[in-house]
Amino acid sequence: MKALSFLLAAPLLVGMAFGAAGCGGIDSRSSKGDDSSNDAGSTDDGGSFPLGAYSDCQWLVTGGTFESASSPATLTLGPICSASGCAASAMVASFQSGQATTTFTLHATSDSSATLSGPGQGFSGEWGFCGGGAVQLDGGGIAVADPAPAEATLSLTSAELTIDQGVAFLQLDGPVVDIQGSPGCTPDVPPSSGLSALLVCDVSNGNGVGNAPAATTTTSRFAAGAYACSSTAEFLVSYQGEEDHSSIGGSGTLTLTANGASLEAVYSGDTNASGTLEFVVTSDSSANPVPGQTITVGCGAIDPTTLMQVNAPTPGNVNAAALTTDGTALYLTFLSKTSGGACANQTASTVLVCMPKG
Q: What is the pLDDT of residues 325-350, one digit of tens each?
A: 988 999 999 999 998 777 888 999 99
For the CA atoms of the chain, what is the radius of gyration? 21
Mean per-residue pLDDT for 16-41? 34
Q: How much is the pLDDT for 224?
A: 95
With contact defined as beta carbons under 8 Å apart, do 107 and 51 qualify?
no
Give Cβ neighbours of residue 20 (< 8 Å, ≥ 6 apart): none
Q: Note the pTM of the prediction, 2 decimals.
A: 0.81
Q: What is the DSSP string of 322-339?
A: EEEESSS-EEEEEEEEE-
What is the per-residue pLDDT across 103-147, written as a single tens digit (0 to 9) for each?
A: 999 999 999 999 999 988 999 988 888 887 777 777 777 877 788
Q: Which of 254, 255, 263, 250 is nearest to 313 (CA)?
A: 250
DSSP for residue 146: P
pLDDT in the model for residue 243 = 85
CA separation for the pair 101, 295 (Å, rounded): 36
Q: What is the structure's pLDDT at 217?
A: 60
By the 8 A CB rule, do 250 and 272 touch? yes
Alpha helices in 271-335, H assignment, sequence order: none
Give the pLDDT band (50/70/90) at residue 34.
Answer: very low
Give the Cα separation of 226 and 317 in Å (integer).
Answer: 25
193 with 176: CB under 8 angstroms?
no
Residue of 50 and 5 predicted with greater confidence: 50
**Residues 219-258 pLDDT 10s:** 789 999 999 999 999 999 888 888 888 888 999 999 999 9
pLDDT score recorded for residue 31: 31
pLDDT band for position 203 (50/70/90)?
Answer: low
Alpha-carbon span 287 to 280, nearest angstrom:
5
Report the candidate in 1, 28, 7, 33 with the shortest Cα–Cα distance to residue 16.
28
pLDDT digits (tens, 9 = 90+) for 179-188: 887 777 888 8
